[in-house]
Chains A and B, each alone.
Chain A
Amino acid sequence: MKKIVISAIFLAAFACSSSATSGFAQALSSSELIENAKELNGAIVSYKGEAVTAIMRRGAHSWISVNDGPNAIGVWAKNDLAEKIIFIGDYKYKGDAVEIEGIFNRACSEHGGELDIHAGKITVLERGYSLAERPYGNRMRIAIALFLATLIAVAFFRKKL
């Protein structure tokens, strides 16, 4: 009962304000959200992580994938909020570090039962950047040496292959 009352207060506060304020949101990791999904269902939460993989536009909203290390969680946000994100994390880029504040859904009725967050506010904590490839070290030299050895071996053994 206590949880329902607290959640109702959070929801009312969220509904009154166009942007949820950090004062109400519980800062939680992806593991905490997934492990306590039943208890947190419908609560306003704060979740931090890196925007990764892609932003997918769906009409006036977008899906953003936000990864905090152990997991990535789907965030449903209005396009004007999603547009704050410039860098998306992949092999070549470190994505923007963002803080999401919004309503957590254990099995969202709007999105086919998915565990997601409907963002009311997105804050870019740290801008992403282009990642330099790790140095080769001796790897390229070893690769070329092995490649030459392979060519010699294939030429030498060609009748037996």
Chain B
Amino acid sequence: MILRPTREDYKIIGYYLGKIVIGIGILMMIPFTLALVYSEYRPAADFLLSISAVLLAGACLSAICYTKKDLATMHAMSVAALSWIVAMFVSAIPLYLSGHYGSYLDACFEAMSGYATTGLTLANNLDHMANSYNFWRHLTMFIGGQGIVVIALTFLFRGTAGAFRMYVGEARDEKILPNVIETSRFIWLVSIVFLIIGSAALSASAIIGGLKPAKAIFDSVCIFMAAWDTGGFTPQSQNILFYHNFPFEIITMAIMLLGSINFALHYAVWTGNRREIYKNIEIITLFFTMAVTLSITAWGFIGNVVYPAAIPYFRKIFYHLISGHTGTGYSTIYPRQFVNEWGPLAMLGITIAMAIGGSVCSTTGAIKVLRIGVIYKALRQDVKKLLLPDSSVLVQKVHHIKDMILEDKHVRMATLILLSYLNLYIFGTIAGMLCGYPLASSLFESVSAAANVGLSCGITLPSMPSALKIVYIIQMWAGRLEFIAIFALGGMIIASLKGRE
């Protein structure tokens, strides 16, 4: 029997959603200030309008739904799922007002792409976009990468049990520190420290590469935010290719890899446990899957000499593999070159890398290497069992921060998420094919959207069908939240319609 949610249930969800909307309004003050600094007065007016509208909506929602009750799991999951949709709608307002998007749907696509740290873009005339709008695009990636709920937890909420449930709903199921608020703050601390180091390194490289200091610093901060959060937006249309700068590419590779590592592992290393890097199941699986997907991609170039020497191979093939595997989507080639020059097998190698993704409790999307590692270990355990006497007891351990015994519940969860992602990839592929795109391109773009990568083979354009834009928005949202919160939201909707009083 399903119980219909009460009025109080809706109020709890509305109250916390209102708070998250207020948080987004407050964050919009950063690009607003930047617009004033850069003397971009029209964008400043757009941001003032957006801030006011968003704060007003958030304040009214919170006030109307005011409650002192804490979040139960159902509420927390629904808030986590809905907050990303609400964030998309409100964050698209300044983007739409910028005039760089063909429709409000395109602006919503861009906002979701930012929050989900995907990096697919529908911006027109990006090279003429104001710095403040551009910064807002990148800031959405930083916010989304950290997690909208993580931000709200850090600054707006009390450290309650309900807060932890919301945190879990945002696909972060690891409590690095005993308190979820402390965990959120640790995530911020790591991110800010790397922001300073990474932006400084990128700036130095860009200045040496001939970029003027002001532009170099602005671009570096934007690119750090997008690389660390495995996003993939850049402040201009040529993506990373614009910089023509090998050291710059190396630094972005390092940032992408750091961003794809579990924050729990960051914490272990941060607190002096460096040996964890060599023992952790995620890191071991990551290296293995990188080797396999690199081999497949390189195999695709046999008999198809595109790049003339080892360095171009590294800068194109290995760079895109890292970019795809970490879910970032930074690129040093044009989207159509994947189709025209790389060919289906090389594209398949990158597609598999994108589908696997990085670590759990990081800023990446996709299936994630921990789950691949867990399923592999379970499979190995089952094969071993077949070879041993029936009376023997086999215990399979995995090392992830600490030694753990592999249990059926771990395998079931990993398999459930794996199957959900595969279904999501297939859903987008079929949608792409129904819109008239070939299989290889549809699969590539679908995996890129659902795994929150952002590499494109040329499908994602302002001119693509609106239905496909909506499909990709759903994929980005579901892929980022890893389904559980969305399943819970679906359950709540069904309970609202069919549940008993």
Query: Nearest B residue to A90 by beta-carbon distance?
Result: B128
Contact of A115 among B19, B130, B309, B333 (CB under 8 A): B333
Q: Are A37 and B337 in contact (CB under 8 A)?
A: yes
Asked if B52 is at the interface (CB within 8 A of a chain A CB), the reply is yes
Residues of B within 8 A of A (CB): 19, 22, 40-42, 45-46, 48-49, 51-53, 55-56, 59-60, 62-63, 66, 97, 99, 127-131, 209-212, 215, 236-238, 241-244, 246, 306-309, 311-313, 315-316, 332-334, 336-337, 340-341
Cβ–Cβ < 8 Å partners of A29 in chain B: none
What are some 20 contacts across the A-B interface (CB < 8 A)?
A52-B127, A52-B128, A53-B238, A72-B236, A74-B238, A74-B242, A112-B311, A113-B306, A113-B309, A131-B128, A136-B45, A139-B97, A143-B49, A150-B52, A153-B55, A153-B56, A153-B63, A157-B63, A161-B19, A161-B59
Known A90-B127, A139-B46; judge A149-B62 contact (CB<8 A).
Answer: no
Known: A133-B42, A147-B48. 5 other contacts (CB 8 A): A35-B340, A37-B340, A107-B308, A114-B332, A116-B244
Cβ–Cβ < 8 Å partners of B46 in chain A: 139, 143
Asked if A127 is at the interface (CB within 8 A of a chain B CB), the reply is no
Q: Are A58 and B127 in contact (CB under 8 A)?
A: no
Q: Are A146 and B40 in contact (CB under 8 A)?
A: no
Which 5 A-B residue pairings sit nearest by Cβ, starting from the closest? A113-B312, A56-B210, A146-B52, A157-B63, A143-B49
Cβ–Cβ < 8 Å partners of A160 in chain B: 62-63, 66
Q: Are A143 and B45 in contact (CB under 8 A)?
A: yes
Q: Are A114 and B244 in contact (CB under 8 A)?
A: yes
Query: Nearest B residue to A116 by beta-carbon distance?
Result: B244
Contact of A56 among B53, B130, B209 (CB under 8 A): B209
Known A63-B210, A72-B237, A107-B307; judge A56-B128 contact (CB<8 A).
Answer: no
Query: Nearest B residue to A36 by beta-carbon distance?
Result: B340
CA distance A74 to B99 in the complex (A): 26
CA distance A149 to B333 in the complex (A): 48
A window 62-113: CB within 8 A of B: 62-63, 65, 67, 71-72, 74, 89-91, 106-107, 109, 111-113
Cβ–Cβ < 8 Å partners of B131 in chain A: 91
Q: How far is the CB of A29 from chain B (nearest CB, A)?
A: 13
Q: Mark A115-146, 1 if CB is under 8 A from B, else 0.
A: 11000000000000001011010011011101
CA distance A74 to B337 in the complex (A): 15
Asked if A15 is at the interface (CB within 8 A of a chain B CB), the reply is no
Cβ–Cβ < 8 Å partners of A150 in chain B: 51-52, 55-56, 59
Q: Are B307 and A140 in contact (CB under 8 A)?
A: no
Consensus secondary structure, chain A interface: mixed
Contact of A54 among B42, B212, B336 (CB under 8 A): B212
Cβ–Cβ < 8 Å partners of A71 in chain B: 237-238, 334
Q: Are B244 and A113 in contact (CB under 8 A)?
A: no
Cβ–Cβ < 8 Å partners of B55 in chain A: 150, 153-154
Consensus secondary structure, chain B interface: helix
Cβ–Cβ < 8 Å partners of B332 in chain A: 114
Q: Are B127 and A154 in contact (CB under 8 A)?
A: no
Q: Are B56 and A146 in contact (CB under 8 A)?
A: yes
Known A56-B209, A133-B41, A153-B59; judge A142-B340 contact (CB<8 A).
Answer: no
Q: How far is the CB of B391 from chain A (nearest CB, A)?
A: 59
Asked if A4 is at the interface (CB within 8 A of a chain B CB), the reply is no
Query: Nearest A residue to B237 by beta-carbon distance?
Result: A72
**Most A CB within 10 A of own CB, among B55, B311, B334:** B334
Cβ–Cβ < 8 Å partners of A111 in chain B: 244
Cβ–Cβ < 8 Å partners of B129 in chain A: 91
Q: Are A65 and B42 in contact (CB under 8 A)?
A: no
CA distance A34 to B340 in the complex (A): 9
CA distance A111 to B245 in the complex (A): 9
Cβ–Cβ < 8 Å partners of A149 in chain B: 52, 56
Query: Nearest A residue to B18 by beta-carbon distance?
Result: A161
Cβ–Cβ < 8 Å partners of A131 in chain B: 128
Contact of A106 among B60, B236, B244, B306 (CB under 8 A): B306
Known A113-B311, A160-B63; judge A134-B337 contact (CB<8 A).
Answer: no
Q: How far is the CB of B252 from chain A (nearest CB, A)?
A: 14
Q: How far is the CB of B16 from chain A (nearest CB, A)?
A: 12
Q: Are B127 and A89 in contact (CB under 8 A)?
A: yes
Known A65-B238, A65-B242; judge A143-B48 contact (CB<8 A).
Answer: yes
CA distance A62 to B244 in the complex (A): 11
Contact of B309 among A74, A109, A114 (CB under 8 A): A109
Q: How far is the CB of B36 from chain A (nearest CB, A)?
A: 13
Known A37-B340, A107-B312; judge A157-B48 contact (CB<8 A).
Answer: no
